[in-house]
Amino acid sequence: MTNPLLAYVRGLPDIPTVVEINIRSGPNTSYALLFKLAVGTANLPVLDVRADDQGANLNGKTYQWMRVQLPDGRSGWARDDLLEISGDGTAFGYGVIPTRTHAFALARMTAVSPPVSPVTPPPVAPVAPAPAPVSPAPAPAPISPAPVVPTAPVAPAIPAAPAPGVARGTPTAIINTQGAANTRSGPGMNFDRTGVTLPRGSRYPIVGVQREAAGQQYRWFQVNNAGRLLWIREDLVKYEGDTSPFGLPTDLYPAPMKTNYWWVRGYNMPPTVDASLPEHDGWDLGAATGEPILTGPNGGLVVRSVQCTKCTPDRPSTLMQGFSLGDPRIFADPGWGNGYGNFVIVRYTNEQLPASTRAALAGRGLGGAALFVMHAHLSQRFVEAGTTLTAGQPIGANGNTGNSEAPHLHLEVRAAMNPTFTSWAAIRSGVMDAVVLFSR
């Protein structure tokens, strides 16, 4: 006889500071926190398994939740990325799991789970062992041509698809340009403008996502504007809702400002250069001077925090002191922060990055690389080099210092296999679109 299905609290091996996990009243993080369980807790009987009832997922794979029981009789729901399981999981669509295995890595063969009421968890049903044939498997059917006889339709085998979940909301595009955004009749700059412009802050259901062309950096979103389908380039919008069906990562970090910012321009470097636009190695996000600049993942380390000595409060930018934009003398001048004005560079080790970021790096031959993020043109810096940061911590304020023509954040991301920072110039070759880590 096989052992019953038992869970072990795995935690997040990449983040050893997580020493306990949350146990909730239902299968989604929106349910009440009942209690916590220490990483390493073992031999917890699994009473039930449900797909996340709001469809929460990692890279398109829906989280499963397991209702585990404690020896003292308490029970509650834990997410499968935090657990290992072993034993007979047949009743829940896992089959028999002989050795402890990361639960999230397993696929469930299951029909649709019924929705779970947020108030009353389902009664504890005894785990009925699924009928398992004890006898050897039947011999395979003969392959020789069978006589053609009309038969009743054969019931399809249970598909090994991830358990479907309920979407957390309609995938929605939110226009994030300073003014209205142009739309086109197809997914590329070569398609005609529709003449319909969409105002800043307006929201539209996303009905399609398509890359402009193979190798092109931008995807285009097809949105539904009161029945009319329009295409808009992805950098002009923010998005929310369950976008996983469109292959958009759902684990990126929020853009480094909250809501009071707008899109100015994006990353545009060879070989994906858009010839109609100037080369640019980062994102420019417009905002008022003083808007807080926030960090990405937990644990970032400030590797440089530099004051622009030639930037004055009343004339912070090179433009205001008589230089033209992009003057090469500015880039050579540390007094101007080499053009970046006041700036802060934060390092995230590979382990601190979201799974989709790590996968994207690995896909470029940069598996295990660290990311360095430049926050430039700040009016103020709130942190000094050597500071370890928490996720979303304010590290400075938006400004107009250095080679800048209006208050904005220049956000630039560079990858390096060596996590020890030497200089920004030394990791020039690792420059990449900030979309690898941040959502817009």
**235 interacts with Zn ion by CB under 5 A:** no
Q: Min. distance of Cβ 398 from Zn ion in angstroms?
A: 13
For residues 157 and 416, what is the distance between their CA atoms, to the nearest angstrom?
47
Count of residues near Zn ion by CB under 5 A: 3
Decide whether 233 or 410 has the Cβ nearer to Zn ion. 410
- Using the rule CB under 5 A, give the single segment among 14-22, 277-285, 301-309, 390-398 that binds Zn ion: 277-285
For residues 417 and 420, what is the distance between their CA atoms, to the nearest angstrom?
9
Decide whether 284 or 291 has the Cβ nearer to Zn ion. 284
Q: Which helix (H) or strand (E) holds 346?
A: strand 342-348
- Using the rule CB under 5 A, give the single segment among 86-94, 155-163, 222-230, 279-287 that binds Zn ion: 279-287
User: Binding mask 382-421 vs Zn ion (x if CB under 5 A, - otherwise)?
Assistant: ----------------------------x-----------
Decide whether 14 or 405 has the Cβ nearer to Zn ion. 405
Is residue 411 within 8 A of residue 367, CB to CB? The reply is no
Within 8 A by CB and 6+ apart from 400, the residues are 289, 316, 317, 341, 377, 379, 406, 407, 408
Residue nearest Zn ion by beta-carbon distance: 410
Decide whether 92 or 262 has the Cβ nearer to Zn ion. 262
Within 8 A by CB and 6+ apart from 135, the residues are none
Is residue 396 within 8 A of residue 344, CB to CB? The reply is yes
Q: Which residues, listed in sequence order, are joined to residue 374 by a DSSP beta bridge?
A: 345, 412
Catalogue the E-assigned strands of 124-202: 172-175, 181-184, 193-198
- Using the rule CB under 5 A, give the single segment among 18-26, 95-103, 105-113, 281-289 that binds Zn ion: 281-289
- Using the rule CB under 5 A, give the single segment among 146-154, 199-207, 275-283, 329-337 that binds Zn ion: 275-283
For residues 403 and 331, what is the distance between their CA atoms, to the nearest angstrom?
8
Task: Residue 394: name the closest of 410, 408, 378 by CA.
Answer: 378
Decide whether 124 or 406 has the Cβ nearer to Zn ion. 406
Decide whether 282 or 430 has the Cβ nearer to Zn ion. 282
Which of 88, 284, 333, 433 contacts Zn ion by CB under 5 A? 284
Q: Which spans of this chain sit near Zn ion (rule: CB under 5 A)?
A: 282, 284, 410
